[in-house]
Amino acid sequence: MESPMRMRQLLIKTLREAPAEAELPSHRLLLRAGLVVPLAAGLYCFTPLGWRVVRNIERIIREEMNRSGAQEVHLPALHPIELWEQSGRAALMGPTLFRLTDRKEREFALGPTHEEVISYLASRLVQSYRDLPVTLYQVQTKFRDEPRPRGGLIRLREFTMKDAYSFDTSWETLDASYDAAFAAYQRIFRRAGVPVVPVAADSGAIGGKDSQEFVFLTESGEDTILLCPGCGYAANAEKAEFQPVPPLPGEPAPVEKVHTPGKKTIAEVAAFLGVEPRQTLKAVFYKADGRPVFVAIRGDLEVNEVKLKNALGARELEPMDDETVRRLGLVAGSASPVGVTGMPVVADTSATEAVNLVAGANEADFHLRNVNHGRDWQATNVAEIALARAGDACRKCGSALETRRGIEMGHVFKLGTLYAEKLGVYYLDEAGERRPCVMGCYGIGVERMLAAIIEANHDADGIAWPWEVAPFDVHVVVIGTAGDDAVGAALAEFEATAAGAGLDLLVDDRDESPGIKFKDADLLGMPVRVTVSPRALERGGVEVRHRRTGESNIVPVGTAAAAIAAARSEALEAGR
RNA sequence: CGGGGUGUAGCUCAGCCUGGCAGAGCGCCUGGUUUGGGGCCAGGAGGUCCCGCGUUCGAAUCGCGGCACCCCGACCA
C-alpha cells in the first residue's frame, strides 16, 4: 500500500480536446487522459499514470503465467545477427528487422521476437527428457520496423510483449503445454476486462502447426474474422475454411470459342453469355518471390492471398505488375490457363472440380466455353486458396458465416521442431537417443492490451477502468476552501481508513473548480470517486460514486473505505 | 511501397484562394473573485508559420524539392 498520490504532485496534463489525428477512442482517450505522449510514429512515452496501468497489466500476466507453471526469464533485446541467419529469418523478416552495427563492425538486430534467443538459452540448459516439459516466458521490449504504425498503441514499432515458449518431448505433451498457455490467456484477458474470442489463425512468418489468435472484436479492428452462428466455428479470414457453392453438374462438352466484344470482368462475361459467375473461370496473376504465378479460381470466388502464399511456400506475394503481364503475353480480361506456359498454374479446387466453365481465350474479346480441368488445362498445383466471405457456408455445419472486425491481442501456436533443429535444442530420450524439442510459442502485446482495455471500457465522459488495471482504486475529489476544517478532517479520516483497507488513492487537492475536478475524474476513470465536501458532510458523510454504473451514495466517513474495499473484492472475485 | 490528408503558440484551429504588422478559443504565469459539473474579472509570458531553394520591393500565403505526422491498402502482438 502506498501513501495517497496528490494531484498537485502528479505530473499529468489532461486535454479538453484530443489532437485531430487521433481517431480511435482508445487513442483519443490515451492522449486526453495524459497517459501517453507521442514521440514519433509508433513510439510513445508513458506518463506516471499511464505507466501504472501498464504495470498492472504486466502484473496480471505474470500472476497467470506463473500460475500456469511457466517460469519467467529475461533475454537481451540486442541479438547477434548470426542467430537470425541460423534460423533463416534474417531474410524472412526483411526490412521489419531493425539492424545495427557495433564498433567492431559486428552486426546485430533489435529483437522483433525471441524464438532464436530462447532457443539458444534452451539449447544451453536442456539436456535430458528429465528437463522437460518446460515453459519459459518474459515481458520484454520488441522492435519491429513496421511499414505503418497505427491507431495509437495498436501497432507500435517498439512495444512490450509477453512472450512464452514451451519445450516438450513430443507433440502429445506439447498439446498439454499449449492448453495450459491457452487457459492462462483466457484468465488474463478476462481479468483485464478485454473480451476476446479464440479463433483459428494462420501461423504466419513464424511457421508451425496449430495456431489460434485471441481476438478483441471491434469495428476499428484491422483483422477480419469469420464466425459461424451455427456451430461456433471462428477463424481469421486468412485461415477460414468454408464450403463453396457446389458447381453445376454436367458432362464435359466440346470447347467452343465465342466472341465477347469488350467483356472483361466476370460479371460482364457471365451476363453476356447467360451463365452464372460460378460457371466461369477467373484468372489472377501474381509474383511470388519475384516469379510469375498464374492462379485459376472459379469466377464467383476470390483468392485468399495467405492461403495462396502457403500453397506456394512463398515468402512474399504481390500482384503482378502491368509490365510483366504484357511481357508474358497475358491478356487481362481474357486470360486463361488453357495454353499457358512458362509459369506455374495454381488452381483452387473449385476450378478443378467444376465442369464446362467459361474461361478466357488468351485473345482479346474472345472466351472459351466448356473448359475442363485435366482435359483442356492442367494445374501444376491444386489447393484450397479461396477467401471465405460473409454468407459463405460453414465447412462444419453449413450455416452462413458472418464477418466481424477484430484486433489480435494474443497468439498461441505450435511450432514443432523447426527452430529446435535449426538452433540446436536437443535432448536425450529414455533410450539415450538425441531428439529435437517440440516447441510452442505464445505472445501477448501489452500496450495493445492497454488500448483494447480502453476500447472496451469507456463512455462519452472518459475511461472506466476495471479494478484490476486501474491506476488507482479511488479518485478523491476535495471540494471546499483550504481552510475548511471539517473537510480537512474528513479527508484525513478517509485516507487513514483507506490505507487500512488497502485502497490506493488519487487525491485531487488542486485549487480548481469542482467542475474541472469532476470532469477529470470521469476522464481518468478510477472505479470509484469519493467526494469530500461541505455539502456531502452536511448530508452525513462523503459521496461514493461508482464510475461504471454512476451509482452514488452518501456514506459515513468512517465506513466509506471499508465499503469500497468490499465492493472492490467482490468485483475482483467476479472477474476471475 | 501505392492512394488520400495534414503541418501556424502547450492543445483545438482561423488566416493561405486574392502576397503587405502573427491571430482566436482553451491551456500556462500573476493578482482578485468563485467553490457540486471544464465559473468570472484584470494583467502577462509564449512563434524556426515543418525544412530548403526559388519568384517578388515584400512570402504563413505563390512555385519546386524534401521531411514529419495521420488515415486507407499489402504485414503483425
Q: What is the DSSP string of A558-575?
A: HHHHHHHHHHHHHHHHHT
Q: Which residue has the higher pLDDT, A313 or A28?
A: A28
Q: Which residue is nearest to nucleotide B6 (CA to C1')?
A: A21
Distance in angstroms, CA of A17 to C1' of B14?
A: 17
Q: Which nucleotides of B are covered by protein (CB under 7 A)?
A: 1-2, 5, 11-13, 25-27, 34-39, 68-77
What is the model's pLDDT at position A452? 96
Beta bridge partners of A369: A256
Nearest to A24 by CA among A277, A216, A232, A214: A216
Q: What is the pLDDT of residues A352-374, one digit of tens each?
A: 999 999 999 988 889 999 999 99
* Residue A340 near residue A295, CB atoms below 8 Å: no
Average pLDDT over residues A544-573: 97
Strand partners, A223: A406
Ordered structural domains, chain A, with CATH? 25-77+111-222+403-455 (3.30.930.10), 256-383 (3.90.960.10), 472-574 (3.40.50.800)
User: Among the ranges A299-313, A330-344, A438-452, which has the highest mean pLDDT value?
Assistant: A438-452
Mean pLDDT of A501-525: 94
| pLDDT digit string, tens, across residues A222-262 | 889 999 999 999 999 989 999 999 999 999 999 999 999 88
Q: What is the SS3 assignment for A37?
A: strand
What is the mean predicted confidence (pLDDT) over A3-31?
88
pLDDT by residue (tens digit) across A373-397? 999 999 999 999 999 999 999 999 9
pLDDT > 80? residue A20: no
Whether A204 shows a pLDDT value over 70: the answer reads no
pLDDT tier for residue A278 given thresholds of 50, 70 and 90? very high
Q: Cell triple for residue A322?
A: 502491368
Q: What is the mean pLDDT of residues A526-543?
A: 96
Q: How far is the CA of A250 from the C1' of B29 (A)?
A: 86
Q: CA distances (Å), A112 to each of A90, A98, A117, A422, A557, in order?
A: 11, 8, 11, 18, 51
Is a pLDDT exceeding 70 seen at residue A422?
yes
> Residue A310 contacts by C-beta under 8 Å, 6 or more apart in sequence?
A202
Candidate from A94-103, A205-214, A291-300, A329-338 with smallest mean pLDDT: A205-214
The answer to whether the beta carbon of residue A570 comes closer than 7 angstroms to any atom of strand B is: no
List strand B contacts in A 179-198 (CB < 7 A). none
The interface predicted TM-score (ipTM) is: 0.93
Cβ–Cβ under 8 Å, residues A470 and A192: no
Beta strands per DSSP E along A446-490: 458-459, 462-463, 474-478
Mean pLDDT in residue range A51-74: 98
- Position A483 scores a pLDDT of 62
pLDDT band at residue A206, thresholds of 50, 70 and 90? low
How far is residue A486's CA from residue A342's CA, in Å, rounded to a whole number?
90
Distance CA A269, CA A279 (A): 11
pLDDT tens for A442-475 read: 999 999 999 999 999 999 999 999 999 999 999 9
The whole-number pLDDT of residue A262 equals: 85
Place of cell 477480419: A224
Cβ neighbour number for residue A179 with a 10 Å cutoff: 13
Nucleotide nearest to A113 (CA to C1'): B77
What pLDDT shows up at residue A13?
A: 84
| Residues with Cβ within 8 Å of residue A142, at least 6 apart in sequence | A77, A111, A112, A113, A158, A159, A160, A161, A163
Of A67 and A309, the one with more pLDDT: A67
pLDDT > 70: what percent of chain A? 98
Q: Mean pLDDT, to the nearest integer, of A542-548?
A: 97
pLDDT at residue A175 tops 60: yes
| A242 in contact with nucleic chain B (CB within 7 A) | no
What's the CA A51/C1' B58 distance, rounded, in angstroms? 51
Q: At A385, list the grid cell.
A: 486458396
Q: Which segments of A94-209 does DSSP mark as H helices, in order?
A: 115-125, 171-192
- Angle separating helix axes A557-574 and A485-501, nearest 10 degrees: 40
For residue A536, the surrounding DSSP H or E stretch is helix A534-538
Residues A318 and A309: beta-carbon distance below 8 Å:
no
A329 confidence band (pLDDT: 50, 70, 90): confident
A325 or A132, which is more confident? Answer: A132
Q: How far is the CA of A34 from the C1' of B23 (A)?
A: 28
Beta-bridge mates of residue A561: none
Distance CA A378, CA A340 (A): 9
**Which nucleotide lies nearest residue A318, CA to C1'?**
B74
Question: By mean pLDDT, which of A18-27, A128-137, A534-543 is the weakest?
Answer: A18-27
Position with higher pLDDT, A473 vs A40: A473
**How do strand A158-168 and strand A438-445 relate by DSSP bridges?**
antiparallel
Q: Outline where DSSP puts E strands in A169-309.
A: 197-200, 211-217, 223-227, 234-236, 242-243, 256-259, 281-288, 291-298
CA dist list (Å): A401 to A222, A387, A389, A396: 19, 12, 7, 11
